[in-house]
Amino acid sequence: AQTVTQSQPEMSVQEAETVTLSCTYDTSENNYYLFWYKQPPSRQMILVIRQEAYKQQNATENRFSVNFQKAAKSFSLKISDSQLGDTAMYFCAFISSNSGYALNFGKGTSLLVTP
Amino acid sequence: SQTIHQWPATLVQPVGSPLSLECTVEGTSNPNLYWYRQAAGRGLQLLFYSVGIGQISSEVPQNLSASRPQDRQFILSSKKLLLSDSGFYLCAWTTGRSAGEKLFFGSGTQLSVL
């Protein structure tokens, strides 16, 4: 079974600074997808970024980028120029390309952006 | 455009009472549908998923059941709620065309069992 581990339950960063959230996963699959979802205080789940395992290039979406290390099974999220609106719970998720039917989520990291 | 509706937003129920949470999707056909539960400190746990009418797969043996009576309707039920059923329940859907596609979430139901 695939597991997703987020080892940082809570993090804090000052506005305009950069923060990195960690995620590791365990799988024997070679083809899969990784995601970061954001859940702000409204509790609405929002897709932040997606990475396909067969692509070596790290995905980026504006201020959000990932550091995908396939051999190490690591998928960290970097938020640059942090904004107050980035305050949220962040979930890392995994799905196998071949046998996956639903996203498998980590326990989440609560990020607080302070002025 | 596609939308997903989930209701009610909040629910307070006594232990032993029944439960029915409903989720409907608009603007798409034959979606894959999911029920997740979010408990404090435990992330999102997949409860059920469905790839078609009447097709339900359960991930976690528990006090809950799910049904899909129509293509775009997904219902989460319980005959007798337990305290441990408290949590934030999220319905979600995908087109099912690719494992890597985005998962669209409803706005969630906060269930408190007292």
Residue extents of the structural domains in chain B: 3-113
What are the pLDDT digits (tens) for A83-105? Answer: 999 999 999 999 998 777 889 99
For residue B61, pLDDT beyond 80: no
Tokens of A80: 């640059």
Residue with tokens 């408290």: B86
Average pLDDT, chain A: 94
For residue A1, pLDDT beyond 70: no
DSSP state of B19: E
Q: How far off is chain A from B29, nearest CA to CA, in Å?
A: 18
Using a CB–CB cutoff of 8 Å, tell me whether B57 touches chain A. Answer: yes
In this structure, the dihedral spanned by the alpha carbons of residues A16, A36, B1 and B110, taken in order and rounded to 10 degrees, is -100
Nearest to B42 among A52, A96, A107 (CB): A107
For residue A41, pLDDT beyond 80: yes
CATH 3.40.30.10 fits B3-113, yes or no: no
For residue B83, the model assigns a pLDDT of: 94
Mean pLDDT of B23-35: 94
What are the pLDDT digits (tens) for B43-53? Answer: 899 999 999 99
CA distance A78 to A63: 8
CA distance B36 to A93: 13
CB B88 within 8 A of CB B108: yes
Mean pLDDT of A59-79: 97
Residue with tokens 């043996």: B61
Mean pLDDT of A49-58: 93
Residue with tokens 């970097």: A78
What are the pLDDT digits (tens) for A22-36? Answer: 999 999 989 999 999
CA distance B65 to B61: 9
pLDDT bucket at A56, cuts 50 / 70 / 90: confident
CATH number of A3-109: 2.60.40.10
Q: What are phi and psi of A110, to 5 degrees?
A: -90, 115
Comparison of pLDDT for B78 and B63, the residue scoring more: B78
Average pLDDT, chain B: 92
For residue B63, pLDDT beyond 70: yes
CB spacing of A45 vs B92 below 8 angstroms: yes
Question: How many helices (H) and strands (E) are present in chain B, helices listed first?
Answer: 0, 11
CA distance B34 to B58: 10
Using a CB–CB cutoff of 8 Å, tell me whether B34 touches chain A. Answer: yes
Q: Which residue ranges make up each domain of chain A?
A: 3-109
